[in-house]
Amino acid sequence: MPVQQPVSAFARDVLAERQRQIRQEGFSPDHDAEHRGGELALAATCYADEAVTQICQPEREPCLTQLVPGWWPFEPSWWKPSLDARKNLVKATALLLAQGDALDLQIDTELEGRPHG
């Protein structure tokens, strides 16, 4: 039997961010399921890309963080990056959780609609 490890600080922060998205922003699993084109995963990619840039180019001008990526799938006002790479990775990972939950909900809904027999 494997020894259970404590949850890392990063994992706790990701789960807290996901809860914040649900409670404060109103992005419930049902709301997220409306995005059927992979938008949440694409948004996660934007935040992860910003984090990589911050890690690899620490001397970059901070104002460049605020430039909305060309592939950002939502309104520009929803682009809210941090100047901290770790925080952007937390946002990215929370968005991937949301995308995964949306896919699970979609699969469950499709399975419920199948004829029995």
Mean pLDDT of 91-96: 98
Predicted confidence (pLDDT) per residue in 5-29, tens digit? 889 999 999 999 999 999 999 999 8
- What single-letter amino acid sits at 55? I
- What single-letter amino acid sits at 80? K
Domain definitions of the chain by residue range: 38-111
**Cα gap 11→15, rounded to integer Å:** 6
The whole-model pTM stands at 0.87
Q: What is the mean pLDDT of the chain?
A: 92
Nearest alpha carbon to residue 39 among 102, 86, 88, 110: 102
